[in-house]
Amino acid sequence: MNPTAHAILVFLQTWWVELVCGVVIVAVVPLIAGYVVLVERKLMADMQARLGPMRVGPHGLLQPIADAVKLLIKEDIIPDQSDKLIFWLAPVISMVAALTSMGAIAFGPTFQVARDINIGILFVLGVSSLGFLGIILGGWASNSHYSIIGALRSTAQLVSYETAAGLAIVSALLLSGTLRISAIVEAQQQAGVWFIFLAPVAAFIYLVASIAETNRAPFDLPEAESELVAGYMTEYSGFRWALYFLGEYANMIVVGSVATTLFLGGWLRPFPNVHWLAWLDWLPALIIALIGVYSIHRAGKQPVKVQTGFMWAVGLACFAVAVIFAVPWFVAPLKVIIPGLNGAFWFLLKVSAYIYVFMWLRFTLPRYRFDQLMHLGWYILIPLAIVNVFSVGIAMLLETEFGVTRWLALLLTTIVTLAAAILLVRWHDKRTESASSASLAPESYAG
Amino acid sequence: MLDSVLFYFFGGVAVVGAALMVTSRNAIHSAVFLITTLLATAGIFLQLGAEFLFIAQVILYVGGIMVLFIFVIMLVRLDVALHHIRFRMKSLVVMTVFGVLAAEAGAIIYYARALPGQGLFIQNMAPADKLAPNSEKLAESLFNSYLLPFEIASVLLLVAMVGAVVMAKSKNRTEES
Amino acid sequence: MGPQHPSTHGVLRVKLKLDGERVRGTECVIGYLHRGVEKIAENRSYQQFAPYVDRMDYVAAVSNGLGYCEAVEKLLNVEAPPRARVIRTILAELQRIASHLVWLGTNALDIGALTPLFYCMREREEILKIFEKYCGARLTTHAFRIGGLQYESYDGFEQDVERFCLDFEHRIQDYVDLLTGNSIWIGRTRNVGMLKAADCIALGASGPILRAAGVKWDLRKAQPYAAYEQYKFEIPVGSNGDTYDRYMVRIEEMRQSRLICLQAIEKIPEGPIMGKVGKVIKPSAGEIYHSIEAPKGILGYYIVSDGGTQPYRVRVRPPSFVNLQALDKMVRGHLVADVVAIIGTLDIVLGEVDR
Amino acid sequence: MMSPAHYLFLSLALFLIGCVGVVTRRNVIVVLMSIELILNAVNINLVLFSRIFGDVAGQVFALFIIADAAAEAAVGLGIIIAFFRNQETVLADEMDLLKW
């Protein structure tokens, strides 16, 4: 490795790089969360045969900025007998929890704020579990009985689904053997296959639990519009509400990146060890260039002149990023940066795919009733997660003791777990059918 | 240098939080201050190289136990029952108790200096980077040498859970549940 | 749940007696939208009162008009010409589809599914376009006159209706794929808001609620009016009268209405569109009661005339008002979240409830 | 560098504040919280000495203390709820009935 490449590597390892990464995260995440909101509204509109925000900027690209300005200007009201200190503190807690848990996430092999701490995934899980403190205090501080009910419901939901998420993560960690994030991704690289294929049931449980944990899609009962108006957020307005809102979206990104690291092979490109697919490394630069071409193509069609200018700017920005991705290929010493850049691209691509699934579920599925929600959590998800941990454990045992190849053992145990799952659900159907009396609303089964 | 800055920060937050917790009027305020103190002590664990304990403290203490406290305070509307009772010369009693305890501790430290051996100032800590990866060693000792206490602890937790549920479930709603 | 609660359709206040989360009893406070339509009728001539009728159930204005005009024709014992009766049937069935679409969209939204609302509204737009081309108005159409129709059907009427009906087939399939098999939807609607046949009849509930409870009673078959006796269609019937059955019954009704429209546009008889009704309508003293099958249920008109040009008394039997009485029986023992779903399945429109 | 004495004084301070909280506060909930604080102070000491002697036994013991604190808080709060539901009070000095 020639001296300049070495210098660059040393340059990347100095201590203040982590500081910069931290600042970047704190500054960029609200912006990203804003644009995630825009993407969600556009997707929702697209699925519902309408256009979504088109007015602010071309194709509504400036909508998040407009939202942010509106929220800043809006006068935030504090309910009179509410607990001032806690009313101010609650949204801050939920935002801080989401951002600090992002610290330990490795967005690429090099780009990680807390330099590869030993308890990687556990840190992320633990700190993001502080988020619901903000929710419960927020509900309590705005002392209207609607928000208290909403806060209690969402906390009960978060606590119960966190156990399920924890167990799902345990079964994935059994495969990787370590908590350190970079080691987990290495394990997936050596195994040559992502953990989602080795432990599919764990991945599914984690998907369901993470949706419930971020209060979204079929599980977004706490702020179910039709009953509790807006759950714990009813009394908040203006910037405070924006904090909660960004906290929720940042949480979604955190949960997405944990799932990507654990199940979708962090920053590995789709077929890491397959050499004849090496051209995949070119893909990031190509995709961004394509986006640039598309935005310039759209620039001509903008009704307002200033929007054409804006679209040109977006196009040129995409081209610049594409160049940044392409340059290291040609300049020899810069070759060492390639894995970092490509890794970050693939990681963000997978996280956005994960979040797309969140949004997709949100638009299609109706909402669970609260008791069904808890029913699904406690009666079906957690026992299934426990059974899954056992089955992955047995698989590992089979592999070490009896030398059964790893994926064959896991295949067997996954079939066993699925059988257990079907039995579990059927047992519940019988129990609910028999117990359902006409007068009292029965525990209708779900899932 | 960074080490001492962090220590004074965490230590300061812990002591101030504890003091506020003890003296604050509203139960929820004291709960929030206790949470800050717990997070500060977690920071000190991190500084002492005990990463696993740091995350255990954050998850178990703040994520688990404090949620119990907040739930109880919220559900049972305690602060409402509190406001109408005042205890007059509260601060005087607090001061005397604190004074007595501090004097006692000072006496111990003073006499400890005269004891044989290093007394209170024992040799310094092992430097940070030489330490083995914390959670692996902790896990290895937890499941090898301390397996029996580990099982007893889990039984203890089970018993506590059952006990809490039985007590908290009110008598009059048994037929409907 | 206050009058401006987001999920009560219009201004309905429901006082819930709660035990924890369970609903023990309800009391509906209505009257926020009372405009005294029946009192106004007493000093309006028969033709002048027709537009008021559309304002009652503003979601299904065409069937209101149909009921009123047929009632007055019965009073005058005048028969609308066959061409008018066929066009009336087509418009009434289109209005039934539109009303059920509004119900499906809002009910799915209450239970949490966001997308069906927009699909339903997109279809409803097509129907409203047809109404607009026919009589100039989309919602409160005042399309019919006593004795027949005011306007001839615009050329291209058959093609529009046919295009809509053919396209509507796979649209319904979209909703069915989205909701019917959906385990969360089944979880939220199965065994919720049960109303057995005996209770329905006792409470006088009618329309999809009655048919979901298993009673095969539909005025279009029982007492055929307009041109219904010429067409073949079935009456969908549910089994145990819960929200899921009401959902299935209404979806099936939409399919049946589509079939009726297709059969009707094949042959719209030629001939006059206005019966032998003079400029001034002065029916002989007497009283009649005439009811039709509106989308929400049995819509009845009881008109008393004292021989003058103005009716002595017009009493309207709105289906929503009667169905609302069933709310208390259905909601007992359910959770708050279910109350919202049950109010949705009752498909009540407050304009009709309060008149 | 931070000598062990600093950490000892810190845990001593937390311990004292916890004791004061237990002794002077009337609200049983805050008493329970002060006990949690005392347990925390003890934990700091344990971790400190496990760091000094390089042996991880101290941290294992601290883990058990956290588990025990959880159990104790659960049962304690259970008692408080049951008591509050019957006697409508939660002040230590009004809990003078052994059987109600």
CB contact (8 A) between residue B157 and residue D67: yes
For the segment A333-342, the average pLDDT, to the nearest whole number, is 72
pLDDT higher for B37 or C278?
B37
N- to C-terminal Cα separation, chain D: 57
The span from the CA of A350 to the CA of B38, in Å, is 36
If asked whether residues A67 and A80 sit together in one domain, one would say no
Quick one: pLDDT at residue B40? 92
Furthest-apart CA atoms within chain C: distance in Å = 65
The span from the CA of B105 to the CA of B98, in Å, is 11
Residues of chain C with pLDDT > 70: what percent?
97
The tens digit of pLDDT for each residue in A17-35 reads 777 878 888 888 888 888 8
If asked whether residues A63 and A100 sit together in one domain, one would say no
Quick one: pLDDT at residue A62? 80
CB C54 within 8 A of CB C317: no
Indicate whether B23 pLDDT > 60.
yes
Quick one: pLDDT at residue A189? 80
- Provide Rg for chain A, Cα atoms: 24
If asked whether residues A138 and A189 sit together in one domain, one would say yes
Quick one: pLDDT at residue C7? 55
pTM: 0.82
If asked whether residues A408 and A292 sit together in one domain, one would say no
Q: Is D78 on the interface with B (CB under 8 A)?
A: yes
CB A198 within 8 A of CB A410: yes
- Structural domain that includes position A48: 20-73
Mean pLDDT of chain B: 77
CB A179 within 8 A of CB A119: yes
Quick one: pLDDT at residue A322? 82
Residue partners of D50: CB distance under 8 A and separation at least 6: B50, D56, D57, D58, D59, D62
If asked whether residues A28 and A114 sit together in one domain, one would say no
Residue C334 lies in a domain: yes
Indicate whether A385 pLDDT > 80.
yes
CA dihedral angle for residue A142, residue A147, residue A151, residue A154, rounded to 10 degrees: -150
Question: Measured between beta carbons, which residues in chain A are less than 8 angstroms from residue C118?
Answer: 48-50
Q: Is C180 on the interface with A (CB under 8 A)?
A: no
Quick one: pLDDT at residue B170? 64
The span from the CA of D11 to the CA of D38, in Å, is 9
The span from the CA of D41 to the CA of C312, in Å, is 89
Residues of chain D with pLDDT > 90: what percent?
24
Residue D100 lies in a domain: no
Residue D81 lies in a domain: yes
Provide the pLDDT confidence category of residue C8 given band limits of 50, 70 and 90. low
| C92-101, C137-146, D86-95: range with highest mean pLDDT | C92-101
Handedness of CA C206, C209, C215, C221 (dihedral sign): positive
CA geometry: angle at D87 spanning B166 and B87, to 5°? Answer: 125
Quick one: pLDDT at residue D1? 59
Quick one: pLDDT at residue B84? 47
Quick one: pLDDT at residue C2? 54
Which residue's entry shows tokens 């996954």? A414
- Structural domain that includes position D75: 26-91
The count of C-alpha atoms lying within 13 angstroms of the C-alpha of D81, restricted to the half-sphere facing its C-beta, is: 24
CB C117 within 8 A of CB A44: no
Residue D19 lies in a domain: no
CB contact (8 A) between residue A226 and residue C335: no
Q: In a 10 Å sphere around its CB, with 0-12 CB exposed, 13-18 middle and 19+ buried, how is residue C235 labelled?
A: middle
The span from the CA of A236 to the CA of A2, in Å, is 57
Structure tokens at B48: 């002492």
Q: Is D34 on the interface with B (CB under 8 A)?
A: yes
Residue C6 lies in a domain: no
Residue A319 lies in a domain: yes
Handedness of CA D80, D85, D90, D95 (dihedral sign): negative
Residue D69 lies in a domain: yes
Q: Which residue of A has its CA nearest to B139?
A: A178
Residue C8 lies in a domain: no
Closest to C7 (Cβ–Cβ): which among A50, A226, A440?
Answer: A226
Indicate whether A441 pLDDT > 50.
no
Mean pLDDT of chain C: 84
Residues of chain C with pLDDT > 90: what percent?
0
The span from the CA of A344 to the CA of A136, in Å, is 35
For the segment A259-288, the average pLDDT, to the nearest whole number, is 76
Handedness of CA B131, B134, B136, B141 (dihedral sign): positive
Quick one: pLDDT at residue A248? 85
- Provide Rg for chain D, Cα atoms: 17
Lowest mean pLDDT among A111-120, B95-104, C188-197: A111-120
Indicate whether A158 pLDDT > 80.
yes
Q: Is B39 on the interface with D (CB under 8 A)?
A: no
CB C63 within 8 A of CB C56: no
| A57-71, A102-116, D58-72: range with highest mean pLDDT | D58-72
The tens digit of pLDDT for each residue in A216-272 reads 777 776 655 445 556 666 677 777 888 888 888 888 888 888 888 888 877 777 776
A422-441 burial: b if 16+ Cβ within 10 Å, else e: eebbeebeeebeeeeeeeeb
Provide the pLDDT confidence category of residue C5 given band limits of 50, 70 and 90. low
The span from the CA of C67 to the CA of C69, in Å, is 6
Provide the pLDDT confidence category of residue D59 given band limits of 50, 70 and 90. confident
CB contact (8 A) between residue A148 and residue B70: no
The span from the CA of A142 to the CA of A80, in Å, is 9
For the segment C128-135, the average pLDDT, to the nearest whole number, is 88
pLDDT higher for C134 or C5?
C134
- SS3 at position D25: coil
Residue D63 lies in a domain: yes
ipTM: 0.78
Quick one: pLDDT at residue B37? 93
CB C252 within 8 A of CB C236: yes
CB contact (8 A) between residue D47 and residue B53: yes
If asked whether residues A222 and A348 sit together in one domain, one would say yes
Question: Measured between beta carbons, which residues in chain B are less than 8 angstroms from residue A132?
Answer: 67
Lowest mean pLDDT among A395-409, C251-265, D13-27: A395-409
Q: Is B163 on the interface with D (CB under 8 A)?
A: yes
Closest to C187 (Cβ–Cβ): which among A44, A50, A445?
Answer: A445
For the segment B68-88, the average pLDDT, to the nearest whole number, is 65
Quick one: pLDDT at residue B14? 93
The tens digit of pLDDT for each residue in C19-30 reads 767 788 888 877
The span from the CA of C192 to the CA of C341, in Å, is 8
For the segment C118-145, the average pLDDT, to the nearest whole number, is 86
If asked whether residues A29 and A140 sit together in one domain, one would say no
For residue A133, CA distances in Å to A94, A127, A140, A397, D68 come to 7, 11, 11, 39, 22
CA dihedral angle for residue A402, residue A407, residue A408, residue A409, rounded to 10 degrees: 50
- Structural domain that includes position C75: 13-354
Structure tokens at D75: 């049962």
In chain A, the number of structural domains is 3
CATH of the domain at C183: 1.10.645.10
If asked whether residues A290 and A204 sit together in one domain, one would say no
- SS3 at position C19: strand
Closest listed residue to residue C98, CA positions, set C66, C63, C69, C72: C63
Closest listed residue to residue C66, CA positions, set C92, C97, C99: C92
Q: In a 10 Å sphere around its CB, with 0-12 CB exposed, 13-18 middle and 19+ buried, how is residue A250 labelled?
A: buried
Distance from CA of D97 to the nearest CA of B (A): 17
In chain C, the number of structural domains is 1
Mean pLDDT of chain D: 84
Domains of chain B: 2-168 (1.20.120.1200)
Indicate whether A2 pLDDT > 70.
no
Helices A238-263 and A200-213 cross at an angle (nearest 10°) of 180
The tens digit of pLDDT for each residue in C38-75 reads 888 888 888 888 888 888 888 888 888 888 888 888 88
If asked whether residues A320 and A213 sit together in one domain, one would say no
| A412-426, C334-348, D61-75: range with highest mean pLDDT | D61-75
Residue C109 lies in a domain: yes
Closest listed residue to residue C117, CA positions, set C125, C107, C127, C126: C107
In chain D, the number of structural domains is 1
Last residue of a domain, one of A8, A40, A73: A73
If asked whether residues A175 and A298 sit together in one domain, one would say no
H-type alpha helices, A48-104: 63-73, 84-103
Q: Which helix (H) or strand (E) holds C28?
A: strand C22-29
If asked whether residues A66 and A78 sit together in one domain, one would say no
The tens digit of pLDDT for each residue in D8-53 reads 888 988 998 898 888 888 788 888 999 999 999 999 999 888 888 7
Residue C7 lies in a domain: no
Quick one: pLDDT at residue D44? 92
Provide the pLDDT confidence category of residue B175 given band limits of 50, 70 and 90. very low
CB contact (8 A) between residue A368 and residue C113: no
CB C344 within 8 A of CB C110: yes
Q: Which residue of D has its CA nearest to B171?
A: D82
CB C191 within 8 A of CB A444: yes
If asked whether residues A224 and A301 sit together in one domain, one would say no
Q: Is C239 on the interface with A (CB under 8 A)?
A: no
Q: Which residue of B has its CA nearest to D87?
A: B81
CB contact (8 A) between residue A126 and residue B35: no
Phi-psi region of A217 (alpha: psi -120 to 50; beta: other; left: phi over 0): left
Q: What is the DSSP string of A139-202?
A: HHHT--HHHHHHHHHHHHHHHHHHHHHHHHHHHHHHHH--S-HHHHHHHHHHHSS-HHHHSHHH
CB A250 within 8 A of CB A99: yes
Quick one: pLDDT at residue D43? 92
Residue D13 lies in a domain: no
Mean pLDDT of chain A: 78
Closest listed residue to residue A82, CA positions, set A135, A141, A133, A136: A141
The tens digit of pLDDT for each residue in C278-326 reads 778 888 888 888 888 888 888 888 988 888 888 888 888 888 888 888 8
Quick one: pLDDT at residue B13? 93
Q: Is A280 on the interface with B (CB under 8 A)?
A: no
- Residue type at D61? F
Residues of chain A with pLDDT > 70: what percent?
85
Provide the pLDDT confidence category of residue A439 given band limits of 50, 70 and 90. very low
